[in-house]
Chains A and B, each alone.
Chain A
Amino acid sequence: MNFDLSEDQQEIRRTARELLAARYRWEEVRRLALEEERAFTDEQWEEMVSLGWPELAVPEEQGGQGLGTVEQAVIAEELGYACVPTPLDSTWAAARLLAAAGEASRLADGRRGSVAQVDEGSTALSSLTDFDVRFEEGRLHGVKVAVPDAASADLLVVTAAGGRHVLVEAGAEGLSVEPTPALDPTRRLFTVRLDGVPGEELPSADWERAWLAIAVFTAGESVGVAQRAMEMAVAYAKDRKQFERPIGSYQAVSHACAQMLLETEGARSAVLWAAWALDHEPETARLAASVAKAYASDAGRRVPASALQVHGGIGFTWEHDLHFLLKRGQGNARMYGDARWHRDRIAEAVL
């Protein structure tokens, strides 16, 4: 038994950490989030494509890298740590569903994807597969909200009533994609109106496993968000002096930082477990994925909030970088099942 990353996995982490630190300094994150229309540049996307990241977890027989969910969660954590605005995770989500149906090659050659999951007006996901959008006679009818990176995606996977998953190409007839303001400026969200849009239904597949994998790498991102916020809080608490002492020498502050460590490490343990279970122990994966997404969603929101408190007034300013983490954590917490929804699933499993 080895509850730690292997040498190869650690190497993946180091590479990702170094590359993302070089490419996504805070000034660049800020520029992308606040000024760049799509929140990424072609060069940035092409570099990720050249690294093989979009199809990292796609099986080799479908043209991917064939790496596991652990590797994907590791890179996701680094995306969160660097707070990278990128369509990579949206594409990962689409790739997971397409790969389940044996259709991942649709995303070959650096094409981008996204998943339209949340029905307009819904306050919770009713189930992983059952939705209000209708797919009738080859056409989709309905409205999806909070669809990430929809305008820059080459294709969308749309979830529809009856647990159907329907592929829609960008620019299809009757498809409208409208930007929506979002709390998290590092990820563009859109309302997608489907007014009789022609689509192609994906063959029935093990959708649940794909959805759980999506939840788990999103949870992995939140671990990175929490880790970065904690490091910023600890550094600030060592540096900032009040009453002639570093504020980190006061227990009210140092204990808050210790609590951040508890939540960050706990989230990391849960994500690693769930990622491993998805690839190696399917019978535990359902519980593990929901534990990971619920716990990491909470940690990804609470740790940056607590880090902000440690920073005091400066942490509440627009010019400080902390708010990007706070908002990213809040955004991640809501995607692909929030903590409440995953707790419901856990209750169903144990009660």
Chain B
Amino acid sequence: MDLTLTPTEEEFRDEARSWIEANHPGPRPEGDEAGFDFLRRWQRKLNERGWAGLTWPVEYGGAGATLVEMAIFYEELARAGAPRMANTLGLTMGGPTVIAHGTDAQKERYLAPILSADEIWCQGFSEPQSGSDLASLRTKAVRKGGEWIVTGQKVWTTMAHQSKWCMLVARTDPEAPKHRGLTYFLMDMEQDEVEVRPLRQITGEAEFNELFMEEARIPHDNIVGGENNGWRVAITTLMHERAGLAFALQVEVQVALRQVIERAKELGVDGDPVIRQRLAQLQIEAQVLRLNAFRGLTGMQKRGEPGPEGSIGKWHWADVNQALSEVALDLAGPAGVLGEEPWAYRFLRARANSIEGGTTEILKNIVAERVLGLPRG
């Protein structure tokens, strides 16, 4: 056990802290477009410093940071209350997948614009009939000369309307067993055969989209990781999503908790014994979330994969973030349901936490089967 930082890590922390302080973009402006431009500018600034692709190898424009440095960086962002970057999916999933499975030409073509946020990425995995059972997906791609013709529908496609590229998994061999007939494509969103329809959520806004492909075209060269190898490539993507995001998410909880505590003080309910107990419990859960994430890092460093605590992070985060937004709403008492209540949106948005990126039920199945060795249902 040694939770101290090495002198190099301390130096990195100090540098990150002072840089973030000097370059903090301030509060995010209202509105979808303005908000997105703000995040894009913030990412560009980080990229100029080499920190957009913090853990990417240096040869691909990253900073080649260690896992501990990544953790330090996220903690510093949290401390400063700085926002996340615009191209989240490109940075945490698309880029790492291209680095792991892509050809040299693909690395040359795609990586730099991900870092600069010139090209935003989205993810075309889930379908109306294929949620948790992702491998049952039906969107099909048929080869015609040097191209693949794609027809089908995707849902829950975050930021599709802003995106240039879609990480699309489609069925290329309908005869093969369901996990073996899938291929991972990079689909250009700028074509008439791809239609993006905003999907209105319970929050009233349309952060997600539905994606309709009617004979959309993808060049053969845009396959990542080989024909019919899409399941394996997609799993890499999901693992990157869970490992990288787990850290970012626990940091967001810490930021949110500070805001909830401030709100409790503003409203003058910080002396209420029940509220105090609930805020303390959130503080405990947020710390445990953070500690598990750090323990997971040690596991990654030692064994190349997270330990048992690593499989828990995303589901625990969903529980904590939902509890946090519920407490936040309760702070205002009867006024919590009024339209101007600042936490109403976050309360509603948090309901998706236990669904997006793997439902809590699927994650519990994974823990039960792979960590505890319980028989499959």
Contacts and interface: CB of A to CB of B under 8 A. Distances in A.
A234 B264 contact: no
A238 B368 CA distance: 11
A276 to B, nearest CB: 5
Interface string A265-309: 111011011011100110000011001001100000000000000
A255 interface: yes
B283 interface: yes
Interface stretch (B82-90, B190-198, B212-220, B284-292): B284-292
Among B284, B312, B365, residue most surrounded by chain A Cβ atoms (within 10 Å): B284
Contacts of A255: 361, 364-365, 368
Given A249-B375, A266-B316, A291-B288, A347 B276 contact: yes
A251 interface: yes
B203 to A, nearest CB: 28
B204 interface: no
Interface string B1-34: 1111110010000000000000000000000000
B109 interface: no
A249 B287 CA distance: 32
Interface stretch (B46-54, B149-157, B294-302): B294-302
A238 B372 CA distance: 10
Contacts of A288: 287
A276 B294 CA distance: 14
A291 B361 contact: no
B374 A270 contact: no
Interface in A318-347: 340, 343-344, 346-347
A128 interface: no
Contact of A270 (B9, B281, B287): B287
B1 A2 contact: yes
A351 B377 CA distance: 46
Nearest to B67: A1
B309 A281 contact: no
Given A3-B1, A234-B374, A343-B277, A350 B288 contact: no
B371 interface: yes
B298 A257 contact: no
B3 A350 contact: no
Interface stretch (A4-12, A44-52, A155-163, A165-173): A4-12
Contacts of B373: 234, 238
A176 interface: no
A258 B365 CA distance: 8
Contacts of B309: 265-266, 269
Interface in B248-291: 261, 264-265, 270, 276-277, 279-281, 283-284, 287-288, 291
A248 interface: yes
A340 B277 contact: yes
Contacts of A280: 2-4
A237 interface: yes
Contact of A291 (B9, B261, B284, B298): B284
Contacts of B375: 238, 245-246, 248-249
A338 to B, nearest CB: 12
A261 interface: yes
Given A1-B5, A4-B1, A255-B368, A350 B279 contact: yes
B374 A346 contact: no
B280 A3 contact: no
A192 interface: no
A105 interface: no
A9 to B, nearest CB: 7
Nearest to B296: A3
A4 B298 contact: yes
B297 A350 contact: no
A248 B364 CA distance: 12
Contact of A350 (B283, B364, B365, B372): B283
B9 A251 contact: no
Contact of B1 (A6, A266, A291): A6
B284 A346 contact: yes
A55 B279 CA distance: 38
A246 B373 CA distance: 12
* Top 5 closest pairs, chain A to chain B, by CB: A254-B368, A343-B280, A269-B291, A347-B276, A248-B374
Interface of A: 1-6, 9, 70, 234, 237-238, 245-246, 248-251, 254-255, 257-259, 261-262, 265-267, 269-270, 272-273, 275-277, 280-281, 287-288, 291, 294-295, 340, 343-344, 346-347, 350-351
12 contacts: A3-B1, A3-B291, A251-B364, A257-B372, A258-B371, A266-B316, A275-B1, A287-B287, A295-B288, A343-B276, A346-B280, A350-B280
